[in-house]
Structure 1
């Protein structure tokens, strides 16, 4: 994780590159390609223009070479260039004036054609740093950690959430009934699954009205607010309409699959709704899973935080997905780190994927914080004694770790946790 720092007039980006060519020349090619240059100097490309607008190479930190290319390059084949393949961490600086407060163009500048350069057999955008003045030209989170705590009424400890399961197939009324059950079970947060947005068996407009009737009734009966993240992923105009409906029905939160909606749509949504914006990152593995290609979470979350989201998914510790615990931990810390000094723009890290009471110790040990959303789908809904026991088991696990008590010791006096350890522990 990189500390937030940058000159006031420039944006810095770190890359891992792999190439059989001279590292300095390749780094200069990268800088030229993503600013004022092309493969040859052209008319009008004066020294004055280059000094003002060309990206510059700040650092080259060579790493261990690899014997084989990570990615193919027809250009290198045509040049009859073979290995060994050198690797380096390269830092480039881009003039803010080239980009302006334009998020899609920022992404195109720090990434864009770099992935297609023939000179490289590996290219990964690792991290991104923006100056405070530049960050302030973009939307801040409307709620973030403090606002989510205020809306849910959870002032201490983690916010415990769950996901509507089955993912798809439930009717509108079945969904509303499940939400009632989950509210009564004691959750703080409920979200739609990313693949359930506006299905024919439970149209979104009907689902929002039916679910919010249950949420409002529970709130009036108990005084407890439960936040529901409705999946409004759609075209931009439709998402704005969906968000307006959620707001009219006194909802607090909407969710979008950010990779498939795009920067412009999420920015437009942020600027058109006061609701909490829950950013679901499904598809991120496609961009990040190969260590020699794509984008690291630090750079990824920086770009999306400039769009003004409030929550970011980080997956979960000891979860069901491919990310290592180290990557999940670093992702959560990135979310909790301001993008610029003396700026409160942190977002709430949302842990999910195979989470249950037994993954709580690893989560707390990794983060050292309870400023997070801990979501358990099956870990709550599949508890052998029902969802309410599932919620209690998760809360009991958090009570244990925050008091420094091993789970099995705490479980001696916590039957729901004891049942969870016996049931889920046999399946992990």
Structure 2
């Protein structure tokens, strides 16, 4: 029988063994008391199992408010497993099992999902990203270097026509990828279909003129039927990408869009800090992103090195590496394109390249492009030059000696030096 495994860090005023038993029972066939129907045979068949348990530390106080108290709060890592027959190869029900009511249990004063291992049956049930890295490169016409992207800013306030004017400046500047901000959806001031039509008129005319079609990720976040209609419209007018906010549409919404759309899905993780910011509760990104890759995300945000948020560079790098790591021992790898954003400039391109170990990533810069002294064209060129230097193994400062756009960017964004 196939089993699904999940690894947690927990803290408890009880013994680690007792806390693990409570979690295993709560998330499988048990409750606060043993019921008549909960026979040994049933528990053996359907109960969660403690696979390993390692104590890692102790404290004299709880990390989070906890109804139970003790003289010592023990911390450790526990691996639990469940028989797949409990819920089948279902992402939505797996999430309820490994990240459900366990976060509220009185027996734990901290609990965090660190990782999950899906059994092979999930590979048969979920096709994963339809385009991923290679399909995105093909559509965007970027073969052997990092993709350079940006975000429409200001986030909201532009009309469809004003948005198209910004896009026109960006494509003339040589951009590879443009995305809506997650706050720009389908409001009366900038209706989605009108924005799609206005922007794609610019993109299609540019493609006719140059033979190159930059990718635009339109934010189609909405109800499932709305997203389907929007994806169809994007495709009908020649678009090559759609975007959704993952926590808004959920696993079922993303899965429905994956089955319907014939376009790459740019998956925005806004709201992820709710799950990740505390070291004492939540879900790590390496665990979280596996659900979304299985559901069909082609591009996944991983924040950025020297970003404007609270996440450390080490966490960003681990996140980027996780979205290209194989999900299963056999079959497709389900690799997604890592998307770096948040305060990115030419200065961060070199460490980003080394962190990924290749040019297989999308590097999105807003101010790093718009704020370049030579404007949009200079900003895009500075990023390409920084990528060229990184791929050739030439230090940025040396490469900047005879590359004006890069030199101007290094001077302008010197505060981003790591």
The separation in 2 between residues aligned to 1:109 and 1:256, in whole angstroms, is 25
Q: For this pair of structures, how many residues does the alignment match?
A: 416
Alignment partner of 1:109: what SS? helix
Q: Write the deviation string for residues 156-200 of structure 1: whole angstroms up to 9, x where unpaired.
A: 011111111111111111110111111111111100001111122
The separation in 1 between residues aligned to 2:361 and 2:71, in whole angstroms, is 45
Match of 2:342 among 340, 346, 353: 353
Matched, 1:382 2:360: no
Q: Structure 1 stretch 82-91 or stretch 281-290: which is displaced more?
A: 82-91
Contact 1:69 1:83 in 2 (8 A): no
Q: Write the deviation string for residues 122-155 of structure 1: whole angstroms up to 9, x where unpaired.
A: 0101111112232321132110011001111111
Match of 1:275 among 244, 263, 266: 263
The separation in 1 between residues aligned to 2:259 and 2:103, in whole angstroms, is 31
Change (3 A) 1:129 1:427: closer
Match of 2:398 among 378, 384, 409: 409
Match of 1:419 among 400, 408, 413: 408
Contact 2:294 2:334 in 1 (8 A): no
CA RMSD for the aligned pairs? 1.2
Contact 2:349 2:390 in 1 (8 A): yes
The separation in 1 between residues aligned to 2:342 and 2:360, in whole angstroms, is 18
Alignment partner of 1:107: what SS? helix
Structure-2 residue corresponding to 1:68:
61
The separation in 2 between residues aligned to 1:132 and 1:415, in whole angstroms, is 51
Structure-2 residue corresponding to 1:43:
36
The separation in 1 between residues aligned to 2:25 and 2:215, in whole angstroms, is 47
Match of 1:123 among 80, 101, 111: 111
Structure-1 residue corresponding to 2:294:
306
Matched, 1:316 2:316: no
The separation in 2 between residues aligned to 1:366 and 1:67, in whole angstroms, is 38
The separation in 2 between residues aligned to 1:383 and 1:40, in whole angstroms, is 64
Q: Structure 1 stretch 336-345 or stretch 226-235: which is displaced more?
A: 336-345
The separation in 1 between residues aligned to 2:60 and 2:241, in whole angstroms, is 49
Match of 1:237 among 225, 228, 241: 225
Residue 320 of structure 1: how far off its partner (Å) = 0.8
What TM-score, normalized to structure 2? 0.97
The separation in 2 between residues aligned to 1:226 and 1:46, in whole angstroms, is 61
Structure-1 residue corresponding to 2:6:
13
Stretches (4+) displaced over 4 A: none
The separation in 1 between residues aligned to 2:17 and 2:161, in whole angstroms, is 62
Residue 426 of structure 1: how far off its partner (Å) = 4.7
Q: Write the deviation string for residues 385-427 of structure 1: whole angstroms up to 9, x where unpaired.
A: 1101100000101111111111111111110111111112157
The separation in 2 between residues aligned to 1:304 and 1:67, in whole angstroms, is 38
The separation in 1 between residues aligned to 2:285 and 2:415, in whole angstroms, is 32
Contact 1:240 1:273 in 2 (8 A): yes
Matched, 1:339 2:312: no
Structure-2 residue corresponding to 1:26:
19
Q: Write the deviation string for residues 104-139 of structure 1: whole angstroms up to 9, x where unpaired.
A: 111000010000110000010111111223232113
Contact 2:306 2:416 in 1 (8 A): no
Structure-2 residue corresponding to 1:396:
385
Matched, 1:195 2:188: no
What TM-score, normalized to structure 1? 0.95
Structure 1 segment 242-281 matched on structure 2, within 5 A: 242-281=230-269
Q: Write the deviation string for residues 190-234 of structure 1: whole angstroms up to 9, x where unpaired.
A: 000011111222111100000001101111100112110000111
